[in-house]
Amino acid sequence: MKPRLNLIIFTLVVLVTVIQGCNPFESIFDKQVKACVADVKLGLSDPSSLEVISTEGVEIDNGSFRVKLNFTAKNAMGGRVRGYENCGFKDKNAIVLNSDDFQNQQRDTARTFKALGIPSTK
């Protein structure tokens, strides 16, 4: 009887862990923040060093939506620096970055220049 109880408890623990990893209750804003963090990490010298300080959602007059991301990360010399980025979305309910948003385009262009060995002016 005891081995069966242990199996049931183990199964429940695994099930809860899996459910928490795939959080179905994650808000749209949380998904937008994750998309923004993933995009910003692409341009960092040490992507794993990114630490989010704060986030804020901003509705723009034209109906689009932006996530303001304040963070710290390590630079190429290993020093921790503070930065901020704005990630644009087509509207408040979109979870994919808007490729037409100029701030998203600026990050993409900066990454292209970095890949070509051209230093950032930021």
pLDDT, residue 11, reads 60
Inside any domain, residue 5 = no
Give the other-Cβ count within 10 Å of 122's Cβ. 8
Cα–Cα distance between 54 and 10 in angstroms, integer? 37
Torsion 85-32-80-108 (CA) sign: negative
For residue 99, being part of any structural domain is answered with yes
Residue 7 has pLDDT above 80, yes or no: no
pLDDT digits (tens, 9 = 90+) for 75-112: 989 999 999 999 999 999 999 999 999 999 999 999 89
Residue range(s) defining the domain that contains residue 104: 27-115
Domain count, the chain: 1
Q: Bigger pLDDT: 99 or 4?
A: 99
- Please check whether residue 44 lies inside any domain of the structure: yes
Position 23 pLDDT exceeds 70: no
Q: What phi and psi values does residue 24 have, to the nearest 5 degrees?
A: -75, -10
- Return the pLDDT at 101: 95
What confidence tier does 119 reach under pLDDT thresholds 50, 70, 90? Answer: confident
Please state, for a pLDDT cut of 90, what percent of the chain lies above it.
68
Q: Between β-strands 65-74 and 80-89, what pairing exists: parallel, antiparallel or unpaired?
A: antiparallel
Q: Is residue 86 part of a domain?
A: yes
